[in-house]
Amino acid sequence: MEDKRTTWVNKPKAWSVSRRTLMEQCPRAWALKYGFARRNTRTFNRILTEVSDWSSPWRLMLRALRGVIIERLELASTGKNWSEKDLASRIRFRIIGSLERQRGTTRIIEKRIGVSSRLKMKVGKQEIARLVEIACHRFNAVMACEPISSILEGKITDWFIADRLEKTSLDRYKLHVAPDIAWRKGRRWHLLRLAMQGGKKPGPEKVLESMSMVLWALSNSGMPVLAERYEVSSLTWNRGSWRKWSMTANDEQVKAATELIKLDMKAMCDLHYRLGPSCDLSQMPLATNSRNCTNCGHIDTCPGGEDLHRARLEQAALEMAKATKS
Question: With contact defined as beta carbons under 8 Å apart, do 169 and 175 qualify?
Answer: yes
- pLDDT at residue 59, rounded to an integer: 96
Separation CA 254–CA 272 (nearest Å): 27
- pLDDT given at position 7: 56
What confidence tens digit (pLDDT) does each residue in 263-311 have?
A: 999 999 999 988 888 788 888 999 999 999 988 999 999 999 888 888 8
* pLDDT reported for residue 8: 56
Q: pLDDT-derived band of residue 44, with 50, 70 and 90 as boundaries?
A: low
pLDDT tens by residue, 52-74? 999 999 999 999 999 999 999 99
CA distance 287 to 290: 7
Enumerate the domain spans of the chain: 54-143, 155-249
pLDDT tens digits for range 175-224: 999 999 999 999 999 999 999 999 988 999 999 999 999 999 999 999 99
Helix axes 87-113, 125-143, angle to 10 degrees: 130
CATH code linked to domain 155-249: 3.40.1350
* Residue 24: C-alpha distances to residues 45, 56, 286 (Å): 23, 20, 10
- The DSSP code for 80 is -
**Number of continuous H segments (helices) and E segments (strands) in the chain:** 12, 8
Which pTM does this prediction carry? 0.91
